[in-house]
Amino acid sequence: MSIGPNFQLGLKDGIILCELINKLQPGSVKKVNESSLNWPQLENIGNFIKAIQAYGMKPHDIFEANDLFENGNMTQVQTTLVALAGL
C-alpha cells in the first residue's frame, strides 16, 4: 500500500496508520474501517492513537486526530511517526 503523492490525503483515512501499528504490535487495532465516510476514518485515526499510546508512545509525541484529518498540524503527525519509529 502506498501513501501516494499527498502525505495528508494518503494517511487521512487512517487505514495505513492502523496497518502500521498492527505490524508493530499485532492485534492493536481489531477492526480497520475501509469506508470513505468521515466518521469511520476518524475512528481509524482514534484507534491508531489509542494503540500507539498502549505501545508506549509519550502523550506529548502524539498528534490529535484533527491534526491529520483536517490538515491542521502535519508537522505533529510527522513528529509522531518519527517518535514511533524510534521505539
CATH code for position 35: 1.10.418.10
What is the residue range of 37's domain?
7-85
Does any domain span residue 13?
yes
Q: Please tell me the distance from the alpha carbon of residue 77 to that of residue 75, in angstroms, as a whole number.
A: 5
Does any domain span residue 39?
yes
**Low-confidence residues in the chain, pLDDT < 50:** none
User: So what's the pLDDT on residue 2?
Assistant: 82
**What are 18's three cell numbers?**
492502523
User: So what's the pLDDT on residue 4?
Assistant: 86
Summary mean pLDDT of the chain: 96
User: So what's the pLDDT on residue 47?
Assistant: 99
Does any domain span residue 1?
no
Does any domain span residue 46?
yes
Does any domain span residue 56?
yes
User: So what's the pLDDT on residue 86?
Assistant: 94
The tens digit of pLDDT for each residue in 14-30 reads 999 999 999 999 999 99
* Count: domains in the chain: 1
